[in-house]
């Protein structure tokens, strides 16, 4: 990442896996699959979801990420979906998860040569950022979906570097040819997962960053295709 002079964020998995700002949720959330399904049954039933435990198609599913510096410069890329599932109960999303393979992180910046992209990814995978050797997977666990006005909002947990934090995010779900198709757009705070490099959340480590500050918010756009 050329020592991260401009950066970064599964994401899905840009806008992975019209971006609404989402992070930790202070709302109480259902604790069981039945309660989660009941919380969103009205909206999901209208989509005619078919009950079952669906396995995520890792090839058809995608996670895109986007990160930025305080100057406004950005980096974008993708993560490979490793595995996951979606559970439909009473025609509603009751839960699920998707895991991303952090070793399969890719930079897709336009105008950047392959060597520079490789340096960027190497830095992102190092202990400065995501510590991929020790923490090879990141996971979004979906506990259910609530409806706020005309917006469906997924809620659950995000685990990165083996640190789990609550998260909520806008989501759409539909049936397509017998498959469940889900799109989620979320933003997470990397500092809450101990991703420290040039973060303003760690002034003792990185004083006077100025234009070298890397924003803590990382965007993920997640597209999921799952089948029985």
Report residue 101's pLDDT band, with 50, 70 and 90 as the boundaries. Answer: very high
pLDDT 10s digits, 3-13 = 333 333 333 33
Query: Is the domain 2-227 a CATH 2.40.128.110 member?
Result: yes
Q: How far apart are CA 37 and CA 203, in angstroms?
A: 43
Read off the tokens for 149: 């006005």
Instruction: Check pLDDT > 80 for residue 58.
Output: yes
Report residue 47's pLDDT band, with 50, 70 and 90 as the boundaries. Answer: low
> pLDDT value at position 205?
81
Instruction: Check pLDDT > 90 for residue 183.
Output: yes
% the chain with pLDDT above 90 = 70
> pLDDT value at position 45?
39
Q: How far, in Å, are 78, 118, 191, 209, 217 from residue 199 at the CA level? A: 22, 22, 7, 8, 10
Mean pLDDT of the chain: 83
pLDDT 10s digits, 69-84 = 999 999 999 999 999 9
User: How deeply is 46 buried, as exposed, middle or buried, from its count of CB atoms within 10 A (0-12, 13-18, 19+)?
Assistant: exposed
> pLDDT value at position 7?
36
| Bridge partners of residue 187, in order along the sequence | 219
Domain ranges, ordered by start, for the chain: 2-227
% the chain with pLDDT above 70 = 79
Weakest-pLDDT range from 42-51, 71-80, 121-130: 42-51
> pLDDT value at position 96?
96
Task: Give the mean model confidence (pLDDT) for residues 136-156.
Answer: 92
**Left, alpha or beta for 35 (phi > 0: left; psi -120 to 50: alpha)?**
alpha
Q: CA 224, 86, 186: angle at the middle one, nearest 5?
A: 50
């Amino acid at each position: 990442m050329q020592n991260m002079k401009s950066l970064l964020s599964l994401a899905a998995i840009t806008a992975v896996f019209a971006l609404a700002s989402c992070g930790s949720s202070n709302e109480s959330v259902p604790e069981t699959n039945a309660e989660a399904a009941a919380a969103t049954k009205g909206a999901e039933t209208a989509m005619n979801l078919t009950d079952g435990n669906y396995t995520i198609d890792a090839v058809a599913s995608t996670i895109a990420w986007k990160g930025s510096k305080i100057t406004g410069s950005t980096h974008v890329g993708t993560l490979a979906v490793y595995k996951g599932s979606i559970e439909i109960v009473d025609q509603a999303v009751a839960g699920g998860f998707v895991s991303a393979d952090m070793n399969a992180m890719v930079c897709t910046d336009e105008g950047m040569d392959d060597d520079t992209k490789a340096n960027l990814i190497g830095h992102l995978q190092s202990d400065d950022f995501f510590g991929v050797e020790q923490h090879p997977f990141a996971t979004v666990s979906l506990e259910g979906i609530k409806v706020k006005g005309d917006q469906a909002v997924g809620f659950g947990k995000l685990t990165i570097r083996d640190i789990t934090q609550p998260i909520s995010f806008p989501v759409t779900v539909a049936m397509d040819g017998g498959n469940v198709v889900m799109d989620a757009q979320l933003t997470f705070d990397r500092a809450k997962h101990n991703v420290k490099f040039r973060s303003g959340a760690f002034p003792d480590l990185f004083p006077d960053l100025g234009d070298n500050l890397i924003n803590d918010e990382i965007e993920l756009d997640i597209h999921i295709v799952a089948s029985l």
